[in-house]
């Protein structure tokens, strides 16, 4: 079977990097482009982090394009308290001086949708700003992209940036609104999945790092600041990997053990619940379903995918 074309949009920080590594080293998928957006870190840092990761994976052939440097309406809020000032755990990586490819990420996505019309999978690992801009610029894009996997929201409505919102949705809720209304075929992997099915406890982190390849050491070491955030703020038993579990599902949908279609809406105006994606679990709104939501995923198979990726060098 030939590799399926993927386009990835990312606000590259520590967990995005692991998701990129999963995709860039898996021969089931052909990464036709990477777009970068401001989110976890300011845009310039996210771009350097994506370029560094591409290099670690030995994939200088995959184009990395610079996208939006801020959300559509709101000022940018970053997550440097989670991922470190440099977004990669502040472990002293040399994250400067690499050059991205020419062309804006929004144009690159539209172009990819033409080149791979009817077969492109779009995977988003950050705020949806670039995707909303692409929908604005060329609304026909929705006819050419048959699958969009989004890391974002939370089906249990427990947030990681305020009590009810997940970070990617919180950064640019107006972009989420555009994407939810676009007619794109959306599949959400939320922070609830990450918190339950993608936690790497310290003994597992040690085991994975001991695989000993440059990729294994890179993927574990850059989680340094996330690990402390998870211990003190989100109170997990280890660090979680939201973007990688979304990418694992994008590559192999059978990683999801339960999915549901439902209607989703996002809160843009409230200061208390900004970015909350309200999932109509019981069908109260009677509104048309606009997304498929992953409700449960297979932790063991996810870890196996990580192991296989880290063993590649
Ligand atoms: C998401 O927000 C970011 O911190 C992570 O990279 C992930 O995309 C988790 O809420
Ligand atoms: Ca991300």
Can you tell me which atom of ligand 1 is nearest the CA of 166? 10
What's the 203 CA to ligand 1 centre distance in angstroms? 23
Of all ligands present, the nearest one to the C-alpha of 150 is 1
Residue 124: C-alpha distances to residues 44, 121, 177 (Å):
18, 10, 15
What's the 274 CA to ligand 1 centre distance in angstroms? 16
Q: Name which of 265, 235, 300, 274 is nearest 74 in CA terms.
A: 274
Q: What is the pLDDT along the chain (313 residues), one digit of tens a residue?
A: 789 999 999 999 999 999 999 999 999 999 999 999 999 999 999 999 999 999 999 999 999 999 999 999 999 999 999 999 999 999 999 999 999 999 999 999 999 999 999 999 999 999 999 999 999 999 999 999 999 999 999 999 999 999 999 999 999 999 999 999 999 999 999 999 999 999 999 999 999 999 999 999 999 999 999 999 999 998 999 999 999 999 999 999 999 999 999 999 999 999 999 999 999 999 999 999 999 999 999 999 999 999 999 999 7
DSSP 3-state of 89: coil
Quick one: how far is CA 6 from the chain centroid?
Answer: 13
Q: Is the dihedral of CA 190, 196, 201, 206 positive or negative?
A: negative
Residues 6 or more apart in contact with residue 119 via CB below 8 angstroms: 4, 5, 146
Res 58: pLDDT: 97
Candidates 3.90.245.10, 3.40.120.10, 2.60.40.420, 1.10.1240.10; CATH matching 4-310: 3.90.245.10
What's the 292 CA to ligand 2 centre distance in angstroms? 20
pTM comes to 0.98
CA–CA dist 174, 254 (Å, integer) = 31
The answer to whether the beta carbons of residues 156 and 192 sit under 8 Å apart is yes
DSSP codes, 221-263: HTTHHHHHHIIIII--SSEE-HHHHHHHHHH-GGGEEEEEEE-
Residues 6 or more apart in contact with residue 85 via CB below 8 angstroms: 41
Of all ligands present, the nearest one to the C-alpha of 83 is 1
Ranges of each domain in the chain: 4-310
Can you tell me which atom of ligand 1 is nearest the CA of 126? 8
CA–CA dist 92, 164 (Å, integer) = 33
What's the 27 CA to ligand 1 centre distance in angstroms? 25
Residues 6 or more apart in contact with residue 123 via CB below 8 angstroms: 6, 7, 8, 9, 19, 23, 148, 149, 151, 246, 247, 250
Can you tell me which atom of ligand 1 is nearest the CA of 161? 10
What's the 2 CA to ligand 1 centre distance in angstroms? 30
Can you tell me which atom of ligand 1 is nearest the CA of 151? 8
Side-chain-side CA neighbours of 124 within 13 Å: the count stands at 33
Q: Is the dihedral of CA 28, 49, 226, 233 positive or negative?
A: negative
Res 1: pLDDT: 72
What's the 168 CA to ligand 2 centre distance in angstroms? 7
Can you tell me which atom of ligand 1 is nearest the CA of 191? 10
Mutate to test the pocket of ligand 1, among 10, 14, 79, 150 (most ligand atoms within 8 A of CB): 79
Can you tell me which atom of ligand 1 is nearest the CA of 13? 6
DSSP 3-state of 136: helix
Q: Compute φ and ψ for 189, nearest 5 degrees.
A: -120, 110
What's the 144 CA to ligand 2 centre distance in angstroms? 24
Residue 5: C-alpha distances to residues 2, 79, 81, 132, 243 (Å):
9, 30, 34, 21, 18
Pocket lining for ligand 1, CB < 6 angstroms: 13, 15-16, 40, 79, 82, 125-126, 151, 160, 166-168, 191, 242-243
Of all ligands present, the nearest one to the C-alpha of 198 is 1
């Amino acid at each position: 079977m030939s590799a399926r074309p993927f386009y990835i949009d990312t606000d590259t920080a520590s967990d995005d990097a692991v998701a990129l590594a999963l995709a860039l080293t898996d021969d089931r998928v052909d990464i036709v482009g990477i777009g970068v957006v401001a989110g976890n870190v300011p845009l310039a840092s996210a771009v350097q982090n994506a370029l560094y990761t591409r290099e670690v994976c030995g994939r200088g052939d995959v184009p990395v394009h610079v996208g939006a440097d801020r959300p559509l309406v709101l000022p940018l809020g970053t997550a440097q308290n989670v991922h470190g000032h440099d977004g990669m755990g502040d472990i002293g990586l040399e994250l400067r001086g690499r050059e991205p490819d020419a062309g804006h990420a929004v144009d690159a996505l539209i172009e990819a949708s033409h080149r791979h019309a009817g077969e492109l999978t779009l995977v988003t690992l950050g705020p949806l700003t670039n995707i909303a801009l692409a929908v604005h610029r060329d609304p026909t894009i929705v006819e050419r992209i048959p699958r969009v996997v989004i890391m974002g929201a939370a089906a249990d409505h427990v947030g990681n940036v305020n009590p009810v919102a997940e970070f990617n949705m919180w950064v640019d809720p107006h972009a989420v609104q555009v994407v939810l209304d676009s007619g794109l075929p959306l599949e959400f992997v939320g922070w609830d999945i990450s918190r339950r099915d993608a936690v790497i406890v310290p003994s597992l982190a040690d085991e994975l790092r001991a695989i000993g390849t440059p990729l294994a050491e890179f993927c574990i070491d850059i989680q340094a600041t996330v690990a402390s955030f998870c211990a003190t703020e989100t109170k997990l038993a280890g660090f979680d990997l939201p973007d990688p579990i979304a990418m694992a599902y994008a590559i192999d949908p059978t990683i999801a053990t339960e999915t549901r279609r439902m209607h989703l809406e996002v809160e843009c105006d409230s200061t208390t619940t900004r970015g909350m994606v309200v999932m109509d679990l019981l069908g109260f709104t009677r509104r048309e379903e606009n997304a498929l939501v992953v409700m449960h995923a297979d932790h063991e198979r996810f870890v196996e995918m990580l192991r296989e990726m880290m063993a590649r060098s």
